[in-house]
Chains A and B, each alone.
Chain A
Amino acid sequence: MKMTGAQIVMECLLEQGVDTIFGYPGGTILNIYDALYKYSDKIKHILTSHEQGASHAADGYARSTGKVGVCFATSGPGATNLTTGIATAYMDSSPVVFITCNVGESLIGKDSFQEVDITGITMPITKSNFIVRDVDKLADTIREAFAIARSGRPGPVLLDILKNVTAAETEYEPLPREQHYSSGRLAQLMKRASEDFRTPKPNEEDVDKLVQMIYASEKPMIICGGGVVRSRADKELNEFAEKVDAPVAITVMGGGALPGRSPLATGMIGMHGSQASNMAADGCDLLIALGCRFSDRVALDPETFANNAQIVQVDIDRSEINKNVPTDHHIIGDAKVVLKMLNEKLAQQHHAEWKDYVFSFATETEYDENKDKLTPKQVLRTIAEMMPQDTIVSTDVGQHQMWAIQHFHFDYSGQLLTSGGFGTMGFGLGAAIGAKVGNPDKAVIHITGDGSFRMNCNELATEEHYDAPVITFVFNNGTLGMVRQWQSLIYDHRYAATTLDRGPDFVKLAEAYGLKGAHVSTEEELRTAIQEALDSGRGYVVDCIIDLDEMVRPMVEGGKQITDFLVK
Chain B
Amino acid sequence: MKEQKLYTLAVLVDNEAGVLSQVSRMFSRKGYNIESLAVGATSDPETSRITIEVICTEDQISLLSLQLQKLYPVHSVKLLDQSNSIRRELVMIKVNTPTSAIRNEIIQISNIFRANIIDVSISTLTIAMIGDESKINGIENILKEFEIIELVRTGYVALERGLQSIYEDTKEKGEFNYGKNVL
A interface residues (Cβ-Cβ under 8 A, vs B):
119-120, 123-124, 127-128, 131, 148, 151-152, 189, 192-195, 197, 200-201, 203, 205-206, 317-319, 321-323, 332
Which residues from chain B contact A317 at a C-beta distance below 8 Å? 70
Interface positions, chain B 25-75, Cβ under 8 Å from A, are: 25, 29, 59, 62-63, 66-67, 69-72, 75
Which residues from chain A contact B179 at a C-beta distance below 8 Å? 194
Which residues from chain B contact A203 at a C-beta distance below 8 Å? 173-175
B176 touches A194 (CB 8 A): yes
Q: How far is the CA of A526 from the CA of B66 in the complex (A)?
A: 51
B72 touches A193 (CB 8 A): no
A193 touches B174 (CB 8 A): no
Q: Which of A124, A189, A197, A201 contacts B174 (CB 8 A)?
A: A201
Q: How far is the CA of A203 from the CA of B182 in the complex (A)?
A: 14
Minimum distance in angstroms from A530 CB to a CB of chain B? 45
Q: Residue on A with the closest CB to B46?
A: A188
Q: Which of B21, B22, B171, B182 contacts A193 (CB 8 A)?
A: B182
Q: Residue on B with the closest CB to A148?
A: B72
Minimum distance in angstroms from A191 CB to a CB of chain B? 11
B63 touches A319 (CB 8 A): yes
A192 touches B29 (CB 8 A): no
Q: 4 closest Cβ contacts across the A-B interface?
A: A319-B66, A197-B183, A128-B72, A193-B183
Q: Residue on A with the closest CB to B62?
A: A322
Q: With A123-B22, A192-B180, A318-B69 given, can you name 8 additional A-B contacts, CB distance below 8 Å?
A: A131-B18, A189-B72, A192-B75, A193-B181, A194-B169, A194-B179, A203-B174, A205-B173
Q: Residue on B with the closest CB to A157?
A: B72
Q: Residue on B with the closest CB to A201?
A: B174
Please report the number of residue pairs spanning A and B whose Cβ atoms sit closer than 8 angstroms. Answer: 60
**Interface pairs (18), CB distance under 8 Å:** A120-B21, A123-B21, A124-B25, A131-B18, A152-B183, A192-B180, A192-B181, A193-B180, A194-B169, A194-B171, A194-B180, A194-B181, A195-B174, A195-B182, A319-B69, A319-B70, A321-B66, A322-B62
Q: How far is the CA of A203 from the CA of B179 in the complex (A)?
A: 18
Which residues from chain A contact B176 at a C-beta distance below 8 Å? 194
B154-181 interface mask toward A, CB cutoff 8 Å, 1 = contact, 0 = none?
0000000000000001010111100111
- Max chain A Cβ within 10 angstroms of own Cβ: one of B21, B69, B179, B181: B181
Asked, given contacts A119-B18, A192-B75, whether A322 binds B182 with beta carbons under 8 Å apart, the answer is no
Q: Residue on A with the closest CB to B171?
A: A194
Interface size on B, residues (CB 8 A): 26
Which residues from chain B contact A206 at a C-beta distance below 8 Å? 173
Minimum distance in angstroms from A305 CB to a CB of chain B? 17
Which residues from chain B contact A200 at a C-beta distance below 8 Å? 182
Minimum distance in angstroms from A46 CB to a CB of chain B? 29
Q: How far is the CA of A119 from the CA of B21 in the complex (A)?
A: 11
Q: How far is the CA of A205 from the CA of B25 in the complex (A)?
A: 36
Which residues from chain B contact A152 at a C-beta distance below 8 Å? 183
Q: How far is the CA of A357 from the CA of B152 in the complex (A)?
A: 67
Which residues from chain A contact B29 at a C-beta distance below 8 Å? 124
Q: Residue on A with the closest CB to B64?
A: A319
Which residues from chain B contact A201 at a C-beta distance below 8 Å? 174
Q: How far is the CA of A192 from the CA of B181 in the complex (A)?
A: 7
- Max chain B Cβ within 10 angstroms of own Cβ: one of A123, A321, A323, A332: A123
Minimum distance in angstroms from A523 CB to a CB of chain B? 49
A189 touches B21 (CB 8 A): no
Which residues from chain B contact A318 at a C-beta distance below 8 Å? 66, 69, 175, 182
Interface positions, chain B 1-36, Cβ under 8 Å from A, are: 18, 21-22, 25, 29
Q: How far is the CA of A184 from the CA of B90 in the complex (A)?
A: 39
Q: Residue on B with the closest CB to A190?
A: B183
Which residues from chain A contact B182 at a C-beta distance below 8 Å? 193-195, 197, 200, 318
A123 touches B72 (CB 8 A): no
Which residues from chain B contact A319 at a C-beta distance below 8 Å? 63, 66-67, 69-70
Which residues from chain B contact A131 at a C-beta distance below 8 Å? 18
Q: How far is the CA of A317 from the CA of B59 in the complex (A)?
A: 17
Which residues from chain A contact B173 at a C-beta distance below 8 Å? 203, 205-206
Q: Residue on B with the closest CB to A124?
A: B29
Which residues from chain B contact A189 at a C-beta distance below 8 Å? 72, 183
Q: How far is the CA of A332 from the CA of B173 in the complex (A)?
A: 11
Q: Residue on B with the closest CB to A192?
A: B75
Q: Residue on A with the closest CB to B28?
A: A124
Q: How far is the CA of A193 from the CA of B75 in the complex (A)?
A: 8
Q: How far is the CA of A91 from the CA of B121 in the complex (A)?
A: 58
- Max chain B Cβ within 10 angstroms of own Cβ: one of A128, A131, A195, A205: A195
Minimum distance in angstroms from A140 CB to a CB of chain B? 14
Minimum distance in angstroms from B79 CB to a CB of chain A? 15
Q: Residue on B with the closest CB to A326?
A: B59
Q: How far is the CA of A105 from the CA of B109 in the complex (A)?
A: 53
Minimum distance in angstroms from B167 CB to a CB of chain A? 10
Which residues from chain A contact B18 at a C-beta distance below 8 Å? 119-120, 123, 131
Which residues from chain B contact A128 at a C-beta distance below 8 Å? 71-72
B115-142 interface mask toward A, CB cutoff 8 Å, 1 = contact, 0 = none?
0000000000000000000000000000
Q: Residue on A with the closest CB to B25?
A: A123
Q: How far is the CA of A128 from the CA of B71 in the complex (A)?
A: 7
Q: How far is the CA of A206 from the CA of B22 in the complex (A)?
A: 33
Q: How far is the CA of A197 from the CA of B72 in the complex (A)?
A: 11
Q: How far is the CA of A120 from the CA of B179 in the complex (A)?
A: 27
Q: How far is the CA of A148 from the CA of B69 in the complex (A)?
A: 14
Which residues from chain A contact B66 at a C-beta distance below 8 Å? 318-319, 321
Q: How far is the CA of A197 from the CA of B70 in the complex (A)?
A: 11
Q: How far is the CA of A189 from the CA of B75 in the complex (A)?
A: 9
Q: How far is the CA of A127 from the CA of B74 in the complex (A)?
A: 13
Which residues from chain B contact A119 at a C-beta distance below 8 Å? 18
Q: How far is the CA of A206 from the CA of B172 in the complex (A)?
A: 12
Minimum distance in angstroms from B5 CB to a CB of chain A? 19
Q: Residue on B with the closest CB to A200?
A: B182
Q: How far is the CA of A525 from the CA of B44 in the complex (A)?
A: 72
Q: Residue on B with the closest CB to A333?
A: B174
Minimum distance in angstroms from B55 CB to a CB of chain A? 20
B175 touches A332 (CB 8 A): yes
Q: How far is the CA of A66 from the CA of B60 in the complex (A)?
A: 34
